[in-house]
Amino acid sequence: MQGEIFRHHHRVTYAECTVGNHIYYARYLDLLEAARGELFRAVGVPLLKLQEKGIIFPAIECHLEYKAPARYDDELVVEVSISELGRVRLDFTYRVMRGEVLLVQGTTRHACTTLEEKPKRLPVEVAEALGPYVMAGGVG
């Protein structure tokens, strides 16, 4: 069974594009971060509130595959799901779409830590809030 997919909408800005009128490759990480932040907000655990409690989620790994370019003014949808929700680790899976066209797919891995970057167990309320977006077999 597939978990729910969170969808974040984004219109490509001129500032995100290269002279060749496509999104600069590293800017996709900004899109993924925005989508991930909106997912946390949508499930009722905004990242700012977690940070105020001393909890952060630094990225420890990422992988992106570029399939087709996005261009200025394109309307994109960033799909986010969770491929693993562990005691300390969270793995997110993404697809960046323009209509039915897959532009980018990838993953990011994050650790739950204190502000001092010491590993910390994922709070139960966060795990429960994110639970619907976990793909089958993704709870560890």
State the burial class of residue 94 (Cβ atoms within 10 Å of its Cβ: 0-12, 13-18, 19+).
buried
Q: Which residues pair with 98 in a beta bridge?
A: 101
Q: Is residue 1 part of a domain?
A: no
What is the pLDDT confidence band of residue 1, given thresholds at 50, 70 and 90?
Answer: very low
Q: What is the span of the domain harbouring residue 26?
A: 6-133
Using one digit for the tens of pLDDT, what is the confidence trace for 75-94?
Answer: 999 999 999 999 999 999 99
Q: Is residue 15 part of a domain?
A: yes
| CATH code, 116 | 3.10.129.10
Question: Cα–Cα distance between 23 and 12 in angstroms, integer?
Answer: 8
Instruction: Return the amino acid letter for 8.
Output: H
Q: Could you tell me which residue, 48 or 139, shows the higher pLDDT? A: 48
Quote the tokens at residue 61. Answer: 């790994």
CA 114 to chain centre: 20
pLDDT of residue 136: 80
The structure's pTM equals: 0.93
Q: Is residue 139 part of a domain?
A: no
Report the share of the chain in percent with pLDDT over 70: 97
Q: Is the pLDDT of residue 33 over 90?
A: yes
Q: Is residue 140 part of a domain?
A: no
Report the relative pairing of strands 113-114 and 55-56 from DSSP bridges: antiparallel
Contact predicate 28/68, CB 8 Å: no
Q: Is residue 68 part of a domain?
A: yes
pLDDT of residue 129: 97
Which residue, 80, 78, 87, is CA-closest to 111?
87
Determine the average pLDDT of the residues in 24-34.
97
Q: Is residue 47 part of a domain?
A: yes
**What's the number of domains the chain is made of?**
1
Which residue, 25, 14, 12, is CA-closest to 67?
25
Q: Is residue 129 part of a domain?
A: yes
